[in-house]
């Protein structure tokens, strides 16, 4: 069903065994592994990620790190990731067998939040790397194009689009009772099947194809520019080269370059954690278009493993910041204070 492809499932259906699904021994071991991973790893990941994102937000907003215009993007990314993890955690609680009832309305809201925040997190990373590309590759324009005002405008445009576009959830979903009338579930409305198919195609373009290609291009361009920067610096230190007249060498500071390196690492980890899940989703979509899709339980389990890998992306940034940036670690030790911009 297109609905299965379109919805980024955030709850693991743990009733398949009870419904009489046939397993080989290997399938059952795989199922048990994914079930345990989902049941115990997800809440730990969410709690760790929410705390880490809150600490990151504190650094980006209430310390000297806030003087960097890109700190606005990073703070927005922390907020978006926190909302996603919060919705994931609540949905995990709702998927437990011990929960007697689950609000269908809340189910729709939870799906809407995960749609919006996953879109925003992806495009905030794109904006971060666009910012770095301009600063590093076109430094003479960086001060004008990457001002705080323009950063806020870009954030507002992306956020508004995400909030409005994914509002389709509220009229393409319906709330049904389960057979035992103990739960309410949200499902795709039958008369919106073809609409959701079109939305799925567009969604895969704006959350997978365009962002991945864009981030890859920006990363490669920035890496090449930084390589030239360090090469010139090395030759200067060896006395083989006089003061450079290159705008890149004269305007960029070591602090800017170190910040850029950290953000390249963050965006690269983002690609590594996002590509498998979105690539698998794209594979399912293509098979659905070609009408070659078959129900396969192992593929179902693989999909959930890749989804869990995808969830890590929303929780790991604080660890990356601490590992890759001395400036972040220094600011983390600062006392919080209001910044005057």
Count CB-CB contacts under 10 A for residue 241: 14
How far apart (Å, rounded) are the C-alpha atoms in residues 205 and 197? Answer: 13
pTM of the model: 0.85
Identify any residues that bridge with 174 across adjacent strands, giving them in sequence order: 187
What separation in angstroms does the CA of 289 have from each of 5, 198, 206, 257, 259?
A: 11, 11, 18, 45, 43
How many C-beta atoms surround the C-beta of residue 190 within 10 A? 8
The pLDDT assigned to 226 comes to 86
Q: Name the CA dihedral angle for 308, 162, 268, 230, rounded to a multiple of 10 degrees.
A: -160
Query: Domains in the chain, ordered, with CATH?
Result: 33-332 (1.20.1070.10)
Each residue's pLDDT expressed in tens, for the chain with a length of 341 residues: 333 333 344 344 434 444 444 556 666 777 888 888 888 999 999 999 999 999 999 999 999 999 888 899 999 999 999 999 999 998 888 777 544 445 567 778 888 999 999 999 999 999 999 999 998 888 777 777 888 899 999 999 999 999 999 998 888 887 776 666 566 677 778 788 888 888 888 998 999 999 999 999 999 999 998 888 777 766 666 655 544 545 444 456 677 788 888 999 999 999 999 999 888 888 877 777 776 655 667 777 888 889 999 999 999 999 999 999 999 999 999 887 765 54
Q: How far apart are CA 47 and CA 85, in angstroms?
A: 8
Residue with tokens 């500071």: 253
Q: CB 160: neighbour CB atoms within 10 A?
A: 10
Looking at residue 340, what is its pLDDT?
Answer: 53
Conformation bin of residue 181: beta by default, left when phi > 0, alpha when psi is -120 to 50: left
pLDDT of residue 98: 46
Closest CA to 206 of 162, 236, 249, 245: 162
Identify the sign of the CA torsion 40, 41, 42, 43. Answer: positive
* pLDDT for the residue numbered 8: 41
CA distance 98 to 167: 31
């Amino acid at each position: 069903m297109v609905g299965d492809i379109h919805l980024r499932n955030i709850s693991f259906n743990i009733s398949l065994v009870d419904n009489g699904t046939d397993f080989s021994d290997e399938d059952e071991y795989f199922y048990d592994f994914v079930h345990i991973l989902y049941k115990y790893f997800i809440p730990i990941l969410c709690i760790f990620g929410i705390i880490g994102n809150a600490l990151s937000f504190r650094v980006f907003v209430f310390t000297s790190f806030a003087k960097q215009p890109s700190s606005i993007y990073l703070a927005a990314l922390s907020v978006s990731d926190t909302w996603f993890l919060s919705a994931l955690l609540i949905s995990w609680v709702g998927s437990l067998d011990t929960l007697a009832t689950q609000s269908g309305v809340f189910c729709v809201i939870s799906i809407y939040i995960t749609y919006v925040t996953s879109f925003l997190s992806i495009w905030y990373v794109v904006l971060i790397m666009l910012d770095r590309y301009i600063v590093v590759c076109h430094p003479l324009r960086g001060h004008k194009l990457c001002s705080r005002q323009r950063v806020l405008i870009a954030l507002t445009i992306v956020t508004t689009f995400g909030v409005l576009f994914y509002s389709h959830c509220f009229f393409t979903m319906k709330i049904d009772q389960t057979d035992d009338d103990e739960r309410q579930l949200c499902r795709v409305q039958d008369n919106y099947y073809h609409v959701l198919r079109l939305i799925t195609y567009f969604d895969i373009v704006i959350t997978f194809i365009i962002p991945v290609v864009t981030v890859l291009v920006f990363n490669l361009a920035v890496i090449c520019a930084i390589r030239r920067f360090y090469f010139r610096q090395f030759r200067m230190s060896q006395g083989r080269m006089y003061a450079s007249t290159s705008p890149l060498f004269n305007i960029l500071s070591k602090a800017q370059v170190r910040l850029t390196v950290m953000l390249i690492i963050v965006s690269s980890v983002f690609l590594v954690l996002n590509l498998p899940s979105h690539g698998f989703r794209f594979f399912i979509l293509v098979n659905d278009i070609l009408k070659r899709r078959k129900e396969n339980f192992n593929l179902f389990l693989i999909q959930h493993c890749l989804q869990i890998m995808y969830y890590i992306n929303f929780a790991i940034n604080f660890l990356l910041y601490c590992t890759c940036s001395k400036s972040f670690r220094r600011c983390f030790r600062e006392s919080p204070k209001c910044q005057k911009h």
